[in-house]
Amino acid sequence: MKFIENGNVTSPGGFTAAGAVGGVKPSNTTKRDIMMIASDTVCTAAGVFTKNLVKSSAVVLTKKNLENGTAQAVIANSGNANTCNADGMEKAGRMCELAADALGIDKSDVIVASTGVIGQVLPIEPFERTVPQLAGIMSKEGGTDAAEAIMTTDTVKKEAAVEIELDGKKVTIGVIAKGSGMIHINMGTMLSFVTTDAAISAEMLHSALTEAVDVSYNMVSIDGDTSTNDTLVILANGKAGNEEITTRGADYRTFTDALTALCRVMAKKLAADGEGATKLMICKVSGAKTTGDAKTAAKSVICSSLVKAMIFGEDANAGRILCALGYSGCDIDVDLIDVSFSSDGGSISVCEKGSMLAFDEELAKKVLCEKEITILVELNEGSGEAEAYGCDLTYDYVKINGDYRT
């Protein structure tokens, strides 16, 4: 497996994309905010979505469109979530119709997604103006414009791609994603679209996606808020020419491992770009009784507001980590826990067998001043392990969200 330099959703064969300024927000005249991705043939497809009971109409319609396990295109917008609106389903349906008409495909094969402010009516006029234009500029170079068009408070575009070999054929998997705030993924606002030219059945595609998401996107938390719009969809058009994956054999494992690696890269990109964030925070838990316990413990640490504030302040206060582990709900012997911090600035142990250690504060500051901090938790009770991804909690997070709507 190798990562492709400047790879994205148009790296796999048969996919094109575009993004354009549509003016979904009346004040927007410069930022791309509507995008489309399309395959030149119908794809097998699968998706995972928010578990929030309040869902965007786009999520509801996309789940319906994916019931037959096929799709051929994606249309998405930023600037408006199309959530909690009386005409939300009508607008989501119209977006699908516009994309289908412009691309010459069936509207039931269109994935629709929206992100932005909740509870504001989605204007349809920007789509009626822009979608035909998008169809005219779809290209292999348009993937990065599509990535830009789904950004809201994101500060950087998030895109990647990998190459693997299946059945002697080169197979490519590409991805774009957005997400900066309202992220406590449980399948923030998190949108991600994955494309591949692998030949794989819808059933195996859904299985692979579920496996990958469980240890990547679902291990991310920025602020503890599960969005109403979380959508992760994968389309596979079979252009690579490998023998179709229909069982959980060796090729399935190779494909799933590559998809997982790709999703983990994107999970870290999402966490690092959390609203107001200055540091990526990774918690690696080992020695748990079960993998489930390790995942719960790791997520409890990166979800803790006190731990997040501690990382921002570069204060090696391991008591906050022990506290988060203690209320995680896992069956943990607190007298066995070891904790250390690691970064490009070095590493330092701060807790052994549940008791705080005397440590060099100057070294601790050096470790915690880096952009990526790893919290290492050893539970010393078994072989379960997991890692979770988050970011520090800063003053800017409150500034961004205090007046997000206005």
pTM of the model: 0.89
Residue 189 annotated to the active site: yes
* Architecture of the domain whose range is 2-272: 4-Layer Sandwich (3.60)
Q: Contact, 390 vs 302, CB < 8 A?
A: yes
- Quick one: how many helices (H) and strands (E) in the chain? 11, 15
Query: Which pair of tokens denotes residue 301?
Result: 């640490």
pLDDT along the chain (406 residues), means of 10: 96 98 90 97 95 89 97 96 95 98 98 92 97 98 96 87 97 90 47 97 97 91 67 96 98 98 93 84 97 95 92 93 94 95 97 95 96 97 96 78 62
SS3 call for 355: strand
DSSP 228-257: S--EEEEEE--TT-PPPB-SSSHHHHHHHH
Q: What are the residue boundaries of the structural domains of the chain, listed by start?
A: 2-272, 280-402
What pLDDT does 223 receive? 54
Q: How, if at all, do strands 2-3 and 15-20 pair?
A: unpaired
Other C-beta atoms lying within 10 Å of the C-beta of residue 158: 25
What pLDDT does 215 receive? 92
Q: Which CATH class is domain 280-402?
A: alpha beta
Check 189, 195, 231, 254 and give the catalytic one: 189
Q: Contact, 55 vs 165, CB < 8 A?
A: no
Strands, E assignment, 181-223: 191-196
CA 317 vs CA 65, 94, 346: distances in Å: 49, 52, 17
